[in-house]
Copies of this chain bind each other. A is one copy, B any other.
Amino acid sequence: MDNQEIRKAGLKVTLPRVKILELLEASVPRHVSAEDVYKMLLEKGEEIGLATVYRVLTQFEAAGLVTRHNFEEGHAVFELDRGEHHDHIVCVLCGKVEEFMDATIEERQKEIAAEHGFEMEDHSLIIYGRCNKPSCPGRE
Protein backbone atom coordinates (compact mmCIF):
# COMPACT_ATOMS: atom_id res chain seq x y z
CA MET A 1 0.00 0.00 0.00
CA ASP A 2 0.90 3.66 -0.25
CA ASN A 3 2.37 3.82 3.21
CA GLN A 4 5.26 1.68 2.14
CA GLU A 5 5.99 3.88 -0.85
CA ILE A 6 6.09 6.92 1.37
CA ARG A 7 8.15 5.24 4.05
CA LYS A 8 10.54 3.90 1.45
CA ALA A 9 11.10 7.47 0.35
CA GLY A 10 12.31 8.31 3.85
CA LEU A 11 9.24 10.38 4.62
CA LYS A 12 6.93 10.15 7.59
CA VAL A 13 3.58 8.63 6.75
CA THR A 14 1.29 11.57 7.32
CA LEU A 15 -2.30 12.12 6.35
CA PRO A 16 -1.54 14.76 3.70
CA ARG A 17 1.00 12.50 2.03
CA VAL A 18 -1.29 9.50 2.03
CA LYS A 19 -4.24 11.49 0.70
CA ILE A 20 -2.21 13.13 -2.04
CA LEU A 21 -0.76 9.83 -3.17
CA GLU A 22 -4.19 8.22 -3.15
CA LEU A 23 -5.56 11.07 -5.18
CA LEU A 24 -2.80 10.79 -7.76
CA GLU A 25 -3.43 7.07 -8.07
CA ALA A 26 -7.10 7.66 -8.77
CA SER A 27 -6.60 10.89 -10.65
CA VAL A 28 -8.48 11.59 -13.84
CA PRO A 29 -7.01 13.35 -15.66
CA ARG A 30 -3.61 11.93 -15.04
CA HIS A 31 -1.76 15.23 -15.32
CA VAL A 32 -2.68 17.68 -12.59
CA SER A 33 -1.32 20.92 -11.18
CA ALA A 34 -0.66 21.56 -7.50
CA GLU A 35 -3.70 23.78 -7.51
CA ASP A 36 -5.75 20.97 -9.05
CA VAL A 37 -4.65 18.58 -6.33
CA TYR A 38 -5.41 21.16 -3.66
CA LYS A 39 -8.92 21.75 -4.96
CA MET A 40 -9.68 18.08 -5.46
CA LEU A 41 -8.66 17.45 -1.87
CA LEU A 42 -10.86 20.29 -0.66
CA GLU A 43 -13.81 18.83 -2.52
CA LYS A 44 -13.18 15.57 -0.76
CA GLY A 45 -13.34 17.38 2.53
CA GLU A 46 -9.62 17.12 3.26
CA GLU A 47 -8.20 20.18 4.96
CA ILE A 48 -4.74 20.19 3.43
CA GLY A 49 -2.89 23.44 2.84
CA LEU A 50 -1.71 24.46 -0.60
CA ALA A 51 1.81 24.92 0.74
CA THR A 52 1.75 21.32 1.89
CA VAL A 53 0.58 20.15 -1.51
CA TYR A 54 3.52 21.90 -3.14
CA ARG A 55 5.95 20.53 -0.56
CA VAL A 56 4.68 16.99 -0.81
CA LEU A 57 4.62 16.96 -4.59
CA THR A 58 8.20 18.21 -4.65
CA GLN A 59 9.21 15.54 -2.15
CA PHE A 60 7.41 12.87 -4.13
CA GLU A 61 9.22 14.04 -7.22
CA ALA A 62 12.59 13.85 -5.46
CA ALA A 63 11.64 10.34 -4.32
CA GLY A 64 10.75 9.30 -7.83
CA LEU A 65 7.11 8.71 -6.99
CA VAL A 66 5.92 11.55 -9.17
CA THR A 67 7.07 13.28 -12.34
CA ARG A 68 6.82 17.00 -12.95
CA HIS A 69 6.20 18.48 -16.39
CA ASN A 70 6.44 22.05 -17.62
CA PHE A 71 3.93 22.30 -20.41
CA GLU A 72 3.48 25.85 -21.68
CA GLU A 73 0.65 26.76 -19.33
CA GLY A 74 2.51 28.82 -16.81
CA HIS A 75 2.34 26.19 -14.10
CA ALA A 76 3.78 22.73 -13.54
CA VAL A 77 1.73 19.57 -13.79
CA PHE A 78 2.41 16.32 -11.99
CA GLU A 79 1.61 12.70 -12.64
CA LEU A 80 2.17 9.50 -10.77
CA ASP A 81 5.30 7.76 -11.94
CA ARG A 82 4.39 4.41 -13.42
CA GLY A 83 7.91 3.19 -13.94
CA GLU A 84 8.01 3.57 -17.66
CA HIS A 85 9.16 6.79 -19.24
CA HIS A 86 7.03 8.48 -21.86
CA ASP A 87 6.62 11.81 -23.61
CA HIS A 88 3.59 13.96 -24.38
CA ILE A 89 1.42 15.46 -27.07
CA VAL A 90 -0.62 18.43 -25.93
CA CYS A 91 -3.53 19.94 -27.81
CA VAL A 92 -3.04 23.70 -27.92
CA LEU A 93 -6.78 24.17 -28.29
CA CYS A 94 -8.37 21.98 -25.64
CA GLY A 95 -5.42 21.00 -23.46
CA LYS A 96 -5.92 17.30 -24.04
CA VAL A 97 -2.75 15.35 -23.26
CA GLU A 98 -1.75 12.06 -24.86
CA GLU A 99 1.30 10.01 -24.09
CA PHE A 100 3.73 8.11 -26.26
CA MET A 101 7.12 6.48 -26.21
CA ASP A 102 9.27 6.10 -29.26
CA ALA A 103 12.37 3.92 -29.07
CA THR A 104 13.91 5.56 -32.10
CA ILE A 105 13.71 9.01 -30.59
CA GLU A 106 14.90 7.84 -27.19
CA GLU A 107 17.91 6.22 -28.81
CA ARG A 108 18.82 9.24 -30.92
CA GLN A 109 18.64 11.50 -27.90
CA LYS A 110 21.26 9.53 -26.04
CA GLU A 111 23.50 9.54 -29.08
CA ILE A 112 23.10 13.28 -29.56
CA ALA A 113 23.87 14.02 -25.93
CA ALA A 114 27.00 11.87 -26.19
CA GLU A 115 28.06 13.56 -29.42
CA HIS A 116 27.96 16.86 -27.58
CA GLY A 117 29.93 15.62 -24.62
CA PHE A 118 26.92 15.50 -22.30
CA GLU A 119 25.90 12.68 -20.05
CA MET A 120 22.14 12.65 -20.49
CA GLU A 121 20.27 12.83 -17.22
CA ASP A 122 16.77 13.51 -18.37
CA HIS A 123 14.87 14.98 -21.27
CA SER A 124 11.59 16.63 -22.07
CA LEU A 125 9.82 16.16 -25.37
CA ILE A 126 6.46 17.78 -25.87
CA ILE A 127 4.63 17.91 -29.17
CA TYR A 128 2.06 20.70 -29.47
CA GLY A 129 -0.71 20.41 -31.98
CA ARG A 130 -4.42 20.43 -32.68
CA CYS A 131 -6.30 17.28 -31.84
CA ASN A 132 -9.18 15.85 -33.83
CA LYS A 133 -11.61 15.36 -30.95
CA PRO A 134 -15.11 16.45 -31.94
CA SER A 135 -15.36 18.15 -28.56
CA CYS A 136 -12.27 20.23 -29.26
CA PRO A 137 -13.00 23.90 -29.83
CA GLY A 138 -11.21 25.24 -32.90
CA ARG A 139 -12.07 22.26 -35.14
CA GLU A 140 -14.08 24.08 -37.76
Show the binding face of A for B, using Cβ within 8 Å: 70, 72, 89, 91-92, 98, 100, 102, 104-105, 108-109, 112-113, 115-133
Contacts and interface: CB of A to CB of B under 8 A. Distances in A.
A131 B133 CA distance: 42
Closest 7 CB pairs of A and B: A118-B129, A117-B132, A120-B129, A122-B128, A123-B127, A125-B125, A119-B130
Nearest to A73: B70
**Count of chain copies:** 2
Contacts of A122: 92, 127-129
Nearest to A131: B118
A48 to B, nearest CB: 24
10 contacts: A92-B121, A102-B112, A105-B109, A117-B132, A118-B130, A118-B132, A119-B130, A119-B132, A120-B127, A123-B128
